[in-house]
Structure 1
């Protein structure tokens, strides 16, 4: 496997009045993940990419980390460094952002 982990960030846009991750700064989150991974030299082992709807709109902005399948919700740009450090580097779930379906 080329990447040890994948971060899929929802950037889906829905028409108002429905909440959508794309409208709630999904693209900014994706950019922040890419920047953080690059700064840490992790971009060759961990991939962050855009995703369509993750079916977690009510909890957005949302993302999912694979291979674990851990969903995070209400993620802010300020949370990116913590998710990278705790989950992606040290395999520790960020409980305060974790979604339980």
Structure 2
């Protein structure tokens, strides 16, 4: 039994926090974020969903959250922005940010 994929809005409005990586395929720092996100996903497990949004393929999503530079990371829960930052964020720092914000709101 497969459920239909959730839309971006459904994901970020849900109970489970979602870390969104706004990126571009041509962006060097964005490529550096990929292994960092993989490490972070292993560390935080089921607490947070991590999704990637290509700003060139999804300009409306990027502009609606005033994403001016890539990579931009935004942590959402129940439609609220809990945290955001542009640029490369080290895995240990990203994990701490998620732990701090998610435990606070969960």
Q: Same fold (TM over 0.5)?
A: yes
Number of matched residues?
A: 79
> Is the alpha carbon distance of 1:12 and 1:61 closer, same or farther for their aligned partners in structure 2, counting shifts above 3 Å?
same
Whole-angstrom distance in 2 between the partners of 1:56 and 1:36: 28
Contact 2:44 2:95 survives alignment (8 Å): no
Whole-angstrom distance in 1 between the partners of 2:71 and 2:93: 12
State the SS of the aligned residue for 1:4: coil
Whole-angstrom distance in 2 between the partners of 1:35 and 1:80: 12
Alignment of 1:49 onto 2:51? yes
Q: Cα deviation per residue 1:47-77 (whole Å; 9 max; x = unaligned)?
A: 11122234342xx542111122232223222
Higher helix share: 2
Q: Cα deviation per residue 1:6-38 (whole Å; 9 max; x = unaligned)?
A: 111234222xxxx55423x12123212311222
> Which blocks of at least 5 consecutive residues in structure 1 are unaligned?
92-101
> Which blocks of at least 5 consecutive residues in structure 2 are unaligned?
1-12, 56-61
The higher radius of gyration belongs to 2
Contact 1:11 1:22 survives alignment (8 Å): yes
Which consecutive segments of 4 or more residues in structure 1 shift more than 6 A? Answer: none
TM norm structure 1: 0.58
User: RMSD across aligned C-alpha pairs, in angstroms?
Assistant: 2.5
